[in-house]
Structure 1
Amino acid sequence: MANNNLFTPLQIRGLELKNRIVVSPMQQYSATDGLVNNWHLVHLGSRAVGGAALIITEATAVSPRGMNTPNDTGIWNDEQVNAWKNVVQFVHEQGAKIAVQLWHSGAKGSHSHPRDGMKYISAENGGWLPKSASPIKLDDTYHSEALSVEEIADIRSSFVNAAMRAVTAGFDSIELHAGHGYLFHQFYSSYVNRRDDEYGGSFERRIGLLVETVKQIRQVIPEDMPLFVRISAVDYLEDDDAWRIEDSVKLSRILKENGVDVITASAGGFVFLDKSRVYPSYQVPFAEKIKSETGIITGAVGAITSPEQANEIITSNKADLAVIAREFLRDPYFPLRAAAKLEKDIPVPFQYKRAF
């Protein structure tokens, strides 16, 4: 393990990654009716050309009411599956792998495009009333009421159906987005979940929706297909009900026992984090602790911007994958640049060889 570096291959079930560089999900707000288009093809495809081992799509809704904005991508119908196939094929042609991140926004649903201020859209104005674990109003932009047990079952089924569609589309892996204040996070954090039924109260009940969904997805996807889960390792709140790293270690252990292969350890989602708490690799310790205490493969996030920084995360065994977002927006060819900087020999598309 000590000899691993940023360009060491990694095997996860039947998936072989050529290096440890992962493109983190980044919302593009560029879809119509949940359909990916040429923007997504170029956005995701260029990162594959750039040498990333694994591309994870933006958070992709499992149902229309799972979206945050009307411009999010989806995978709840056959037309969307066919649109995704084109992107998947191109990524594969570049020698990269691709995972879809499945997602339901819960209380964060029904918002306008960021260009229009991400304002809540009421049902009267073409939106819908979002539903969550409890009717908690996070701030003036979020309005929700509690889901019934029957509605929870429907959402779980939506995730399972979306997973089967992801297999049909040709994705190499699936990641469940269970962080950033979205639906699964709204259930497992008692900061939001105030239910008194089988999905509220104790730790075991609050994680129930996520664990049940994982179990059912594991039953319908191929045995050799890895399953990732992104969690918020902490809530970044001082509230007594806040989710803490110790909770994440316990959850990760349970998820591993139920067929999850990788935990991507992010954080927050209910409040804006003070900028003074954001610095290079600021969330890496979460992945490191989960990895060391559970043995599960982890992906580290959090202001990873340089080849040396990303490499150190792997060589120091803090995490198994460097999951990078904003730096990939600045430089789609970060892996090629990192290879040159770290003096590693990796394939360069022949069309670009004259530059390397």
Structure 2
Amino acid sequence: MEEQLMTEPVVFEELPAAEGKVGRITLSVAATLNSLTLEMVDQLQEKLNAWSTDDSIAAVFIEGAGEKAFCAGGDVQALYKSAVEQPGGPCEYAEAFFTREYRMNYTLHTYAKPLICWGHGIVMGGGLGVMAGCSHRVVTERTRIAMPEVTIALFPDVGGSWFLNHAPGKTGEFLALTGASINGADAIYIGIADRFIASEHKDAVIAGLCQQQWSTEPAANHARVRHVLRPFAEQSISASPAGQVEPHAATIAQLLDGDDIHDIIDKITSQDTDDPWLAKARDSLAHGSKLAALWIDRQLWETRHAGLAEIFQAEIMLATNIIRHPEFAEGVRALLIDKDRKPAWQYQASRDVPTALLDQFFTPPWRENPLADLG
């Protein structure tokens, strides 16, 4: 196992149980905080497909190597390289990555067998897409979640249009616009996690899963997973951190109660507050791409009643159009390549963005959606 963790980007194991087996997936690129590459996405898809029809595999446990992160997202620098090498598109690597990543996310969301995600440490971007798609999502005292795509001119994708629209009140849109950081308690409140379990119990959780006499019926096995996780969650209640989102829900509702998205942006960015969490959220939106803020808002609005397959079809359209536009490359350059933190955004104010330009991001760039076969 240790040698595998040093050489393979994703490690797959089949752990024997009292009856049946538990599949174990370890994202194993700790040096890059287990960020997803196209190779890793393809390996995950292949193994999930294989295990879905393997009667000996009853449940799947997904984790990240190391203590720092479950998964910090996709390999954004590879996406940047694809965008700048093929300006205007098609950006072959980036578009293939998004298409296959979203397909893998859809597989997770619709998987019949129990998927247990151990969401320890940093969970961002593509990592959040993996965690949100699992059926039993565990967070710990060190879970740190953020969707800071507005700072690099992207949008909360990988199913974000689904789970943010299902968050209570206006909290999902606030998190999408501001990239505010949240913890495990927040994740449970907004519905992207199910249980808080202290990280010290991880080995015992895996041992508990391996003590089960698994059934061939997925519904019965979901019950067994809950049976294993429940006592550890009960033992961990005192270790749970205080949340930020729920205590700020009333303020968030006021900030998002604008006449239009421009008014909402003004409300958030003009706050005079000593609250460090709100102040950081304010500053993130103030320094982020105003063009991105507009497409984030519109994407959430247009998908608010959409089904899961429609969500990913809408996301691949928006992601493809974004990757072909220079705003994304400039955001990544400023934050991750040159690291000067001085992006030259195309528009300094959201009201300066032409409606016709925004419309282009919601216009299909191809004859057939590459995820048209979902659902």
Higher strand share: 1
**Shared fold (TM-score greater than 0.5)?**
no
TM-score by length of 1: 0.32
Higher helix share: 2
- Structure number, greater radius of gyration: 2
TM-score by length of 2: 0.31
